[in-house]
Copies of this chain bind each other. A is one copy, B any other.
């Protein structure tokens, strides 16, 4: 709104860029910080991840974090929001790529397969969840309120319906929730350990075998 853009010079200071350019670069910096924050928080935990290394991984400088986000804490919240949005998008995409289910049990099977594939694509999500769910904190309270409670309630309610109909084994809803999420996510959360043990859990063949196995285990042989 104020400066006189002596454009042309691309290198050096950005003070001379037109407002459009500035905004584009600002948005890019923000995005890069979010992505870098996700890997760093997933790898080292909130307290173990430093804002310096996040900024470095994003190709910018540390004070940018306090400019684009108010604090390390706010950066974490924004990154987690971003990650759950990616989860929803991935699950929806995988569901759309499957033949439409014909009954409730098949629908649950599709959800399981879609969740397994999304968990493999986004290991950061379950890594962050498992690090935060481990001890009471403001971050845990926030994540439960904003992201996990409604997912937990939707999944347990769906299982409860199947159970009432006698369509599945008689297993408690909460037991089912944690067993399923744990079984679906650990191969990807612990992928670096699996590699040291000589196995590539991020291989397409593994992911498909894993998804099939969970459907068989939780819903029985009958579901395709």
A95 within 8 A of B: no
1/0 per residue, CB under 8 A from B, across A52-78: the answer is: 000000000000000000000000000
Verify B183–A201 contact, CB threshold 8 A.
no
Verify A189–B133 contact, CB threshold 8 A.
yes
| Bound CA span A33–B84, Å | 38
Instruction: Determine the interface band of chain A, counting residues with CB < 8 A from chain B.
Output: 35 or more
CB nearest to A218 among chain B residues: B217
A89 within 8 A of B: no
Copies of this polypeptide in the complex: 2
A210 within 8 A of B: yes
| Chain A facing B: main interface SS | helix
Verify B141–A196 contact, CB threshold 8 A.
yes
Verify A44–B44 contact, CB threshold 8 A.
no
1/0 per residue, CB under 8 A from B, across A191-224: the answer is: 0111111010100001001100110111001000
CB nearest to A46 among chain B residues: B48
Q: Quick one: given A171-B216, A175-B206, A209-B172, are A134 and B127 in contact (CB under 8 Å)?
A: yes
| Bound CA span A135–B49, Å | 13
| Bound CA span A140–B178, Å | 25
Q: Quick one: given A131-B45, A141-B196, are A213 and B172 in contact (CB under 8 Å)?
A: yes
A182 within 8 A of B: yes
Verify B169–A133 contact, CB threshold 8 A.
no
Verify A144–B196 contact, CB threshold 8 A.
yes
| Bound CA span A195–B148, Å | 13
| Bound CA span A109–B199, Å | 25
Q: Show 8 A/B contacts (Cβ-Cβ < 8 Å), sorted by A.
A: A134-B190, A149-B197, A152-B197, A169-B221, A174-B201, A179-B186, A179-B187, A183-B183
